[in-house]
Amino acid sequence: MYIVAIAWIYVALMMAVAEAFHPLGTVLGAIITFLLYGLGPVSLVLYIMGAPQRRKRARAREAAELVEPDAGGHAAADPIAPVGKKT
């Protein structure tokens, strides 16, 4: 998956270099070309492709919290329950 992203970034970088060094091109156009044709699409695709791993990590984190809800080493509540309310 990452080899395709690296290749895409390389091609977008070469497009930006060609834009910058073309007699009618500008450096601003090269930057915009690199951002809109390179970094934008690659970051979006990598974010979408990483969703299953993020979901799996979140579920594992929630499962770990269910197993050990209080990792402080002390009781979660007062050991002596109140009997009644004094007025």
Residue 67 clears pLDDT 90, i.e. is over it: no
- Contact indicator for 42, 9 with CB cutoff of 8 Å: yes
pLDDT computed for residue 36 by the predictor = 95
Q: Which of 17-26, 32-41, 47-56, 71-80 has the lowest mean pLDDT?
A: 71-80
Residue with tokens 């002596």: 80
Question: What is d(CA 63, CA 72) in angstroms, rounded to the nearest whole number?
Answer: 17
Residue 41 clears pLDDT 90, i.e. is over it: yes
Domain ranges of the chain: 2-65
**Residue predicted with more confidence, 64 or 21:** 21
Non-local (6+) Cβ contacts of 12 within 8 A are 33, 34, 37, 38, 39, 42
**Residue predicted with more confidence, 82 or 30:** 30
Question: Smallest Cα–Cα separation from 1: which of 33, 49, 62?
Answer: 49
Task: Give the global pTM.
Answer: 0.63
